[in-house]
Structure 1
Amino acid sequence: MTQVTIYTQNNCPPCTFVKNYLTAHHIAFEERNIANPTYRNEMIAHDAFATPFILLNDEPMYQVDMDKLNQTLGL
């Protein structure tokens, strides 16, 4: 099973889109809102500076790539 972690922030339409998409496809994910300084520092440690930032099995996805997301998740 693919581990999905999404770094998000409040009032982020792309973040909401990705979360809703995964939920609609019954894909479990962990959300880490960068309002929490610990999560913000984790994201920055990956050299990511924009949300949504996604980790698929600890592999960073710096931009939302729906083809890669679908392929990796088998959708």
Structure 2
Amino acid sequence: MVKVYTTNSCPWCVKAKNYLRSENIEFEELNVQDDMNAREEMISKSKQMGVPVLDIDNNIIIGFDKTAILKALGK
């Protein structure tokens, strides 16, 4: 399960989502700008307020980091 925590105006969130799509990886997008429960979940997991935050099978990746994403996906 891949979750991507985003906001409406985050360019790095767009890059992360486009990258996942280009790799045919399904993900759930959680907009922490609009969804307070998702915001609390993201902060609890990452101890961060910034986005994007990716949760790939409980591997937390802060920011858009292709290497970390591939590693978490086992590629």
User: Same fold by TM-score, threshold 0.5 exceeded?
Assistant: yes
For the residues of structure 2 that align with 1:59 and 1:71, how far apart are their CA atoms?
10
In the TM superposition, residue 19 of structure 1 has moved relative to its aligned partner by: 0.5
Shift of 1:25: 1.5
- Normalised by the size of structure 1, how large is the TM-score? 0.85
1:1-75 pair list within 5 angstroms: 3-34=1-32, 35-46=34-45, 47-73=47-73, 74=75
Q: What is the aligned-residue RMSD (CA, Å)?
A: 1.2
Identity %: 32
Name the TM-score, length of structure 2 as normaliser: 0.85
Q: Which runs of 5+ in 1 are unaligned?
A: none
